[in-house]
């Protein structure tokens, strides 16, 4: 199976690549820096399986069976100002526009898109879609992903909570992470283990 992982050098991307790096799959890893992506994986991948094909945004994208898009600026990296919220949204929309531009040349087939989203799309303690900034970012990104139905036969939004594990950035930076507040409203933080996340995607 041909699988394209975008944002592969992140925490979830690394774990997913390790699990999918088998003789039955051909992996393509897309990141902003080919050298950085290569350095991340050359130390951790088995030499008994062909090394993934490393791509950057100047390269053509493969006609993959599955595209797993995990790319986007980290929400927890900096204080959440209005300017930063715009950056978070545009970093995700720009990647989806790139996918659309690069894959539209291929004929339509049974191709799947798994698009990273977040539990922040919901109202706190509710299954209703929220209307604060984080929810609006998620909804905007999901709507853009769903609009790519001329390229993908199935599109899945991965509404994930904080992903926890021994090397989780959240665990490493927990004392530095700014409060998750949007216009004065507190958000509870849902979580999932890295193992369960990888297994759910697979």
pLDDT digits (tens, 9 = 90+) for 89-135: 999 999 999 999 999 999 877 999 999 999 889 987 778 998 888 88
Distance, CA of 27 to CA of 15 (rounded, Å)? 13
- Beta-carbon contacts of 162 under 8 Å, excluding residues fewer than 6 positions away, are 168, 170, 189, 190, 191, 192
Distance, CA of 137 to CA of 120 (rounded, Å)? 9
Question: 125 or 5: which carries more pLDDT confidence?
Answer: 5
pLDDT value at residue 185: 54
**Percent of the chain clearing pLDDT 90 (strictly above):** 61
Task: Give the mean model confidence (pLDDT) for residues 55-80.
Answer: 87
Does residue 179 register a pLDDT over 60? no
Distance, CA of 111 to CA of 123 (rounded, Å)? 32
pLDDT value at residue 183: 45
pLDDT value at residue 174: 62
pLDDT digits (tens, 9 = 90+) for 28-55: 999 989 999 999 999 889 888 999 999 9
Rounded to two decimals, what is the model's pTM?
Answer: 0.87
- Exposure string (b/e) for 73-104, b if CB count within 10 Å is 16 or more? eebeeeebeeeebeebbeebbebbebbbebbe
Distance, CA of 91 to CA of 85 (rounded, Å)? 10
Where would I find the beta strands (DSSP E) of 36-180?
53-55, 66-69, 112-118, 154-160, 162-164
Does residue 82 register a pLDDT over 90? no
Does residue 177 register a pLDDT over 60? no
Question: 191 or 186: which carries more pLDDT confidence?
Answer: 191
Does residue 146 register a pLDDT over 90? yes
**Backbone φ and ψ of 127, nearest 5°:** -100, 5
For the chain, the average pLDDT equals: 87
Q: How confident is the model at residue 77 (pLDDT cuts 50, 70, 90)?
A: low
Q: How confident is the model at residue 180 (pLDDT cuts 50, 70, 90)?
A: low
pLDDT value at residue 107: 84
Domains and CATH numbers, the chain: 2-201 (3.40.50.720)
Does residue 182 register a pLDDT over 50? no
CB 134 within 8 A of CB 187: yes
Task: Give the mean model confidence (pLDDT) for residues 61-77.
Answer: 88
Where would I find the beta strands (DSSP E) of the chain?
2-6, 26-30, 53-55, 66-69, 112-118, 154-160, 162-164, 181-182, 185-186, 191-193
């Amino acid at each position: 199976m041909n699988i394209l992982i975008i944002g592969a050098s992140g925490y979830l991307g690394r774990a997913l690549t390790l699990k999918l790096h088998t003789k039955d799959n051909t992996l393509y890893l897309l990141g902003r820096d080919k050298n950085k992506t290569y350095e991340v994986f050359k130390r951790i991948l088995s030499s008994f399986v062909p090394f993934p094909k490393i791509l950057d945004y100047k390269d053509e994208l493969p006609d993959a069976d599955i595209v797993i898009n995990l790319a986007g600026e980290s929400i927890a990296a900096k204080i959440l100002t209005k300017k930063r919220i715009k950056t978070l949204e545009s970093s995700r929309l720009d990647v989806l526009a790139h996918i659309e531009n690069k894959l539209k040349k291929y004929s339509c087939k049974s191709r799947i898109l798994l698009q990273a989203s977040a539990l922040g799309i919901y109202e706190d303690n509710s299954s209703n879609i929220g209307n604060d900034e984080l929810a609006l970012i998620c909804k905007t990104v999901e709507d853009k992903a769903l609009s790519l139905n001329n390229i993908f036969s199935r599109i899945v939004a991965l509404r994930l909570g904080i992903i926890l594990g021994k090397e989780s950035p959240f665990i490493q930076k927990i004392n530095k992470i700014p409060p998750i507040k949007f216009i004065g409203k507190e958000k509870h933080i849902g979580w999932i283990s890295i193992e369960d996340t990888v297994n759910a995607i697979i």
